[in-house]
Structure 1
Amino acid sequence: MEVVSATSYRFGIVVSQWNSEVTGRLLAGAYDSLQKHGAQEEHITVVQVPGSYELTSGADILLRNSQLDAIICLGCVIQGETKHFDYICSAVAHGITHVALKYNKPVIFGVLTTDNLQQAMDRAGGKHGNKGEEAAVTAIQMAALSANVK
C-alpha cells in the first residue's frame, strides 16, 4: 500500500500509561511511522492519559484545543478474570467513534484488546508487527481523505 506524504498534516497521539511496556512500544512505532512518512516533529503532539478508558477524553481535549488533522489513540487492555475487560473495551471503542463524529476528524483506534501480555507484546513490535505503526498509517490516510474530500 502506498502511503501519502504526512508533511502537511498535524497529528495528536494519545497514549495510555497503563500497560506501559506495551503502549510505549506502540507509541514509538506510531511516532516513527509518522516521521518516516514526512510528518514534522513540531506537528506531532503526544499526551499521556492514565488508562485506555481515558483515551476518549484525551482525544476530545486535543481536538477541542488545537488544529490537528487526526488523532491516534494507543492503549492496551488485557483480559482479566472479571467483566471489566468487556466494559472498558466497549466504552473505549464507542467513545473514540463518538469523538471522531463530534469533531468530524479521524480518531484512530490503536487499542490492543488481548487475552494476555504475550499477545500484546506480539502486536507491539513482536511477531505480528507493531499496531502503532499501522495506526499511524491509518491516520495519515484518513487525514488526506478528510482534506481532499469536501
Structure 2
Amino acid sequence: MASDLKNLSVFSTDELPDISDRRFGILVSEWNTEVTEALFEGAYKTLLQHGAKPQNIIRGNVPGSYELSLGSLWFAQRDDIDAIIALGCVIQGETKHNDYINHAVAQGLTNVSLKTSKPVIFGVLTPNDQQQALDRAGGKHGNKGDEAAITAIKMLGLQQQVYSKF
C-alpha cells in the first residue's frame, strides 16, 4: 500500500513479543542526514516504547544506503544481535542512480537476512524528492523508522513462534 494512503506510524501492536532481552542493531546512512536521523529517532523510540532496553540497541553509521548491506551483514554475524534495522534514504534526483542503489540495497538486505536467518529490516525511503522523504520521516505520512522497528519486533515474534517447541 502506498504511504500516501497509510500512515507509517499507525500499525497493530497486538501480540507483540517480549523484547526486553533482545538486542537490535540499527544502521543509519549518513547520506540525507536530516531524513535518516529522523528515521533513527522513530525506530529508537518505538523500540524503547515496546520494551527494548537502551543498552540493547546498538547504532552503527554507514556512509550511504549502498553500504547498509555490508554493515547489516557485520551486525548479523554477531551472536548477540537478534535483529537489524537498516535506515536510509535514496532520493530519485536527475539520474537513474536511485534505481541501481535501491535494487542493490533491497537485494543485499534480503540476502543478509536469508544467509543469517535473522530479521534484517528494509527501512530505506525511496522518494521522488526531499519533501516526500520528510513526509515519511516524521511528517504527514508518519515515520518509516517506526514501521521498521515494529517490523523487527514482529519478525522476532514470528521467529520465536516458528522455532519454539510445542
User: Could you tell me the TM-score, scaled by structure 2's length?
Assistant: 0.88
Greater helix fraction, Structure 1 or Structure 2:
1
Alignment check: 8 A CA contact 1:79 1:115 kept: yes
Q: Indicate whether 1:13 and 2:26 are aligned.
A: yes
CA RMSD, 1 decimal: 0.9
Q: Select which of 117, 122, 129 maps to 2:135.
A: 122
1:4 aligned residue: 17
Shift of 1:69: 1.1
Alignment check: 8 A CA contact 2:17 2:156 kept: no
In the alignment, the residues of structure 2 paired with residue 31 and residue 133 of structure 1 have an alpha-carbon distance, to the nearest angstrom, of 8
Shift of 1:29: 0.3
For structure 2, the 5+ residue unaligned runs are 1-11
In the alignment, the residues of structure 1 paired with residue 100 and residue 79 of structure 2 have an alpha-carbon distance, to the nearest angstrom, of 30
Q: Select which of 94, 102, 105 maps to 2:115.
A: 102
User: Could you tell me the TM-score, scaled by structure 1's length?
Assistant: 0.97
Q: Select which of 81, 93, 111 maps to 1:68.
A: 81
Any idea what SS the aligned residue of 1:47 has? strand
- Of structures 1 and 2, the larger Rg is shown by 2
Q: Indicate whether 1:51 and 2:84 are aligned.
A: no
Shift of 1:7: 1.2
Q: Indicate whether 1:90 and 2:103 are aligned.
A: yes
Q: Indicate whether 1:134 and 2:147 are aligned.
A: yes
How much identity, in percent, do the aligned residues show? 57
In the alignment, the residues of structure 2 paired with residue 58 and residue 66 of structure 1 have an alpha-carbon distance, to the nearest angstrom, of 15
Structure 1 segments (4+ residues) deviating >3 Å: none
Alignment check: 8 A CA contact 1:124 1:131 kept: yes
In the alignment, the residues of structure 2 paired with residue 110 and residue 120 of structure 1 have an alpha-carbon distance, to the nearest angstrom, of 12
Alignment check: 8 A CA contact 1:123 1:130 kept: yes
For structure 1, the 5+ residue unaligned runs are none
Any idea what SS the aligned residue of 2:61 has? strand
Shift of 1:13: 0.4
Greater strand fraction, Structure 1 or Structure 2:
1
1:43-71 Cα offsets, whole Å, 9 max, x none, are 11100000000000110111123421110
